[in-house]
């Protein structure tokens, strides 16, 4: 009272006692720190009705009181931090499980777009992403199988015929088309291969047919079929070509030049040279898919085809025989003297036959 401590707890003196005396009129609790200890100090009137009455000042040590709450707070902080870290780890794992398949799909799609149909997505999960990956892999396997079919078809038939077959709307039947048919036959093949091992015979045929096929392809023709040591080609079907006769003539000239180069290589390695006879005829033939519903072949049939075959049979090694119809359609620039009329099997009248010597290059369209 009157700034003096009348009675107090023993041992409360020094800095704490001075601070309590200074805060004797502090009605609300005030938290202070003395040394390493925390205190809550508050004062009040013993008799509220008499402002001059005695005052009581209380200092409560907080360390012992708040220790359990501090432990709870630390536990909450640790628990909350652990939960936050765990949720972050789970979120990262979940995000990775979702984004990794998506990235793999994007990468595989880019490979497919570049023509790599062997791209495959590996997803271990069995959720929607796994289902999507399985569907993508099924699609790429289908594309790869289709590409293999196309590759095989391109080796068996021409690219134009293969494209029609892959459309899936192939039907038996044909139509009349004005075409040029070319037959090329290796002369003296039977005598040349007598006593030869089958593997060498096949190698010889492949070497020669590669040269002939290259000449046909370069002029836009279609290799219809290989018949032993003979090749049949069609110009003007299935793709229409206005200059099919000229293309056939120039393909034959390319064959003759190519065989000359091939024979140089054969002579260099000690092999006998090869000769081919070529026959070409132009006319109306039935072009379409022949055979059965289970096995068919795109080809041309008719008298025009038979005449081309007969002309090839008449041609000597290095000779290109053409019909009057081919010469008329081939246009200017083809030098082909008339050899006269010849009696050909299956034709009642003699057929005028011309031997191609030279053809001027076609003008660019």
Looking at residue 164, its pLDDT comes to 59
Looking at residue 166, its pLDDT comes to 59
**Residues 219, 222, 346, 288, CA torsion sign:** negative
Average pLDDT on 268-279 reads 91
**102-112 as b/e, with b when 16 or more CB fall inside 10 Å?**
eebbeebeeeb
Q: How confident is the model at residue 173 (pLDDT cuts 50, 70, 90)?
A: low
Would you say residue 352 has pLDDT above 90? yes
CB atoms within 10 A of CB 132: 15
Tokens at residue 125, please?
């999960």
Would you say residue 275 has pLDDT above 60? yes
Average pLDDT on 232-242 reads 90
Q: Which residue has the higher pLDDT, 343 or 65?
A: 343
Looking at residue 217, its pLDDT comes to 92
Tokens at residue 298, please?
């795109």
Residue 354, judged by CB atoms within 10 A of its CB (0-12, 13-18, 19+), counts as buried
**For residues 265 and 328, is the Cβ–Cβ distance under 8 A?**
no
**Alpha-carbon gap, residue 284 to 155, rounded angstroms:** 27
| Range in 81-90, 110-119, 222-231 the model is least confident about | 110-119
Residue 89: its H or E element:
helix 62-113
Residue 162: its H or E element:
helix 159-166
Nearest residue to 51 (alpha-carbon basis) of 43, 62, 42: 43
Q: Which residue has the higher pLDDT, 94 or 250?
A: 250
Would you say residue 171 has pLDDT above 60? no
Check whether the bond before 235 is cis (ω within 30° of 0).
no
**For residues 125 and 190, is the Cβ–Cβ distance under 8 A?**
no
Looking at residue 278, its pLDDT comes to 96
Looking at residue 18, its pLDDT comes to 73
Nearest residue to 63 (alpha-carbon basis) of 40, 41, 38: 38
Phi and psi dihedrals of 31, rounded to 5?
-95, 125
Q: What is the pTM of this model?
A: 0.61
Looking at residue 28, its pLDDT comes to 75
Assign 151 to helix, strand or coil: helix
Assign 121 to helix, strand or coil: coil
pLDDT digits (tens, 9 = 90+) for 13-61: 677 777 777 777 666 777 787 777 788 777 777 777 776 677 888 888 8
| Range in 19-23, 115-119, 169-173, 203-207 the model is least confident about | 169-173
What residues contact residue 362 under an 8 Å CB cut-off, 6+ apart?
243, 246, 250, 333
CB atoms within 10 A of CB 206: 11
Q: How confident is the model at residue 165 (pLDDT cuts 50, 70, 90)?
A: low
pLDDT digits (tens, 9 = 90+) for 176-231: 999 999 999 999 888 888 888 989 899 899 999 999 999 999 999 999 889 889 99
**Alpha-carbon gap, residue 54 to 46, rounded angstroms:** 6
Tokens at residue 143, please?
């594309």
Alpha carbons within 13 A on the beta-carbon side of 285: 26
Would you say residue 156 has pLDDT above 80? no
Domains annotated on the chain, with CATH: 14-67 (no CATH), 71-148 (no CATH), 173-359 (3.30.70.1230)
Looking at residue 155, its pLDDT comes to 59
Most confident of 81-95, 155-169, 192-206: 192-206
Would you say residue 170 has pLDDT above 60? no
Would you say residue 138 has pLDDT above 80? yes
**Alpha-carbon gap, residue 5 to 22, rounded angstroms:** 11
**Residues 83, 85, 90, 94, CA torsion sign:** positive
Looking at residue 153, its pLDDT comes to 58
């Amino acid at each position: 009272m009157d700034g003096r401590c009348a009675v107090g707890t023993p041992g409360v003196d020094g800095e704490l006692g001075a601070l309590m005396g200074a805060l004797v009129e502090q009605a609300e609790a005030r938290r202070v720190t003395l040394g390493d200890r925390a205190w809550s100090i508050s004062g009040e009137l013993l008799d509220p009705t008499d402002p001059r009455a005695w005052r009581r000042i209380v200092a409560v040590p907080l360390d012992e009181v708040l220790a359990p709450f501090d432990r709870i707070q630390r536990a909450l902080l640790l628990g909350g931090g652990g939960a936050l870290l765990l949720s972050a780890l789970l979120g990262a794992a979940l995000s990775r499980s979702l984004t990794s398949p998506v990235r793999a799909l994007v990468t595989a799609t880019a490979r497919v777009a570049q023509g790599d149909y062997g791209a495959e997505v590996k997803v271990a999960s069995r959720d929607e992403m796994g289902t999507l990956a399985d569907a993508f892999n099924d699609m790429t396997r289908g594309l790869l199988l289709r590409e293999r079919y196309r590759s095989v078809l391109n080796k068996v038939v021409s690219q134009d015929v293969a494209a029609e077959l892959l459309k899936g709307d192939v039907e038996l039947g044909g139509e009349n088309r004005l075409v040029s048919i070319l037959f090329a036959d290796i002369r003296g093949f039977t005598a040349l291969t007598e006593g030869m091992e089958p593997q060498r015979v096949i190698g010889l045929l492949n070497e020669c047919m590669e040269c002939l096929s290259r000449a046909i392809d370069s002029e836009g023709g279609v290799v219809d079929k290989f018949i032993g040591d003979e090749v049949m080609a069609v110009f003007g079907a299935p793709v229409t070509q206005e200059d099919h006769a000229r293309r056939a003539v120039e393909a034959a000239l390319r064959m003759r030049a190519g065989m000359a180069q091939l024979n140089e290589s054969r002579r260099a390695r000690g092999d006998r040279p090869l000769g081919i006879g070529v026959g070409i005829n132009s006319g109306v033939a039935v072009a379409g898919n022949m055979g059965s519903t289970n096995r068919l072949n795109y080809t041309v049939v008719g008298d025009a085809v038979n005449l081309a075959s007969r002309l090839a049979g008449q041609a000597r090694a290095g000779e290109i025989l053409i019909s009057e119809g081919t010469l008329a359609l081939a246009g200017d620039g083809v030098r082909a003297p008339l050899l006269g009329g010849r009696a050909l099997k299956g034709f009642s009248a003699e057929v005028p036959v011309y031997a191609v010597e030279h053809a001027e290059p076609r003008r660019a369209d």
